[in-house]
Structure 1
């Protein structure tokens, strides 16, 4: 298991919403009560996954590895990295479980690919060993972390059908490597952008560069808008988009715009939106600034 920094938002909007006509105008759900109930169920599920035993709210530190062996709070052993990958040296009393196998003394995790990760289980703690922005990191996940224990849910705008749009997907001739910043100063991420999505809001044509989603054919867009830093998290939000139809039609349901992990904790390395995804309008839909956003203890 590895938790990516663009998590699965599971936002695909399908036949159950009754959205849109492919014109680029707001979609019209068939039944407002069903629309609201589906959104409530989706949001509860999203928060439940965020607050899972070893989810991002359980992360207690973000540690950057170097060739020199280092020890970290809440993490057994001494850790280092080099051309052959990440290595941990454990004392005689400590045991990890990695891929179902017990590990003692010295363990080589090998070279971890970008955005990849390996989990080492230590009692009720999961130690994520990963690579982000070309750097090897260690992130312990403790289920008793106060940020997780105190979590009461993510505030959000009430679901409103006016924020459901149909638009079109325009594929690029070739996927475009796109470099974006990160919530960690000095870090960069590179993603292949297969195309963009175009929609209309109040007579204005808007577009968003899209990255590949986790489900085959699906898309993810990272964006900010005029609510960012006011009612919604300043750095970014994300929106999952189901695979385009045969004619390129897509559904954008901004009621399902979600925070990334960096909205809750400073121990995430989330990507920032491409510059062209800074919308000049206020998207008063989706998740708001979390209650937890503040100093991390």
Structure 2
């Protein structure tokens, strides 16, 4: 159901949302955030040089290896490395940042494959960033629902912003709620903090006013009775909404809602005008 009885008045609610929105955009635009990524490269067995990064990169059973020229140096975990360096195995969705001057070279694993992404703070996508357009906050889009855990987490395969790549998440349960008389539900994935959840979803605004691939919504840990608060005002763009150099997961089929969620982030300026 829609939250109706909060003591927070409209002005305070809007101010709280605005502060959150600014913090979110500031994190996105941090010095070595996704707006600083200048390329996305998939090393193979044969060493190869990539634009915006030192050395020649390769990948094999032992992980990612870089072979640096005599005048090149990376700093890994505070230690300067020269010559040949192997990063070792990296867990899925994990990554390592190697400093190179004012840049960071990210080495990560996504969809079972290793990826190298240079991050340069002077990248125009970052320096020209002016913020993310969004719908005005409205308490109508704050709903309460019920979280029901599955008997066992369900491995759920979803597509990715990169063609041919897939992500697998263990879905712990689903969230059910009602909006405008419609019963809706969303499969939830583990969130970034203990007990919290995140939901990847698309809706009738996707490709119209919001990014076509969908958005993500973070949900605080359910209460003892399974009650959750779903605030669609905080539906957030994934990095792939701003840059092609991201491997973002796509919503599972059951999370493609037929209703229009006219709340949260809109299509970024970087992808073209967001209509109202």
If the TM-score is normalised by the length of the shorter chain, which range does it land in?
over 0.9
Displacement after TM superposition at 1:233 (Å): 0.3
How many angstroms apart in 2 are the aligned matches of 1:86 and 1:95? 16
4+ aligned runs moved over 4 Å, structure 1: none
Q: Give the equivalent residue in structure 2 for 1:184.
A: 162
Query: Contact (CA 8 Å) 2:2, 2:140: kept in 1 or not?
Result: no
Contact 2:206 2:214 in 1 (8 A): yes
Corresponding residue for 1:16?
none
Per-residue deviation, residues 259-285 of structure 1 (Å, max 9, x unmatched): 000000000000000000000100000
1: distance between equivalents of 2:115 and 2:141? Answer: 38
Per-residue deviation, 1:177: 0.3
Correspondence 1:1-297 to 2 at 5 A = 24-30=1-7, 31-293=9-271
Contiguous gaps of at least 5 residues in structure 2: none
C-alpha displacement of 1:293: 1.5
Q: Judge conservation of contact 2:2–2:141 (CA < 8 Å) in 1.
A: no
Length-normalised TM-score, structure 1: 0.90
Q: CA RMSD in A?
A: 0.8
Partner Cα separation in structure 2 for residue 78 and residue 29 of structure 1:
57
Cα distance between partner residues in 1 of 2:40 and 2:105: 11
User: Residue deviations 1:50-109, cap 9 Å, x none?
Assistant: 000000000000000111111111111000011111100001111111011111111110
- Give the Cα separation in 1 of the matches to 2:258 and 2:3: 18
Alpha-carbon contact 1:180-1:273 (below 8 Å) kept: yes
Deviation of 1:29 (Å): 3.2
**CA separation in 2, counterparts of 1:167 and 1:219?**
13
SS at match of 1:42: helix
- Is contact 1:197-1:209 (8 Å) kept? yes
**C-alpha distance after superposition, 1:134-154 (max 9, x if no partner):** 110100000000000100000
User: 2:223 aligns to what SS in structure 1?
Assistant: coil
1:54/1:141 contact within 8 Å kept: yes
Query: What TM-score do the two structures reach when normalised by structure 2?
Result: 0.97
Distance apart, 1:236 and its partner CA: 1.2
**Deviation (angstroms), 1:27:** 4.0
Deviations 1:5-38 (A, max 9, x none): xxxxxxxxxxxxxxxxxxx333443211111110
8 Å Cα contact 2:203/2:260 also seen in 1: yes
2:269 is paired with a residue whose SS is coil
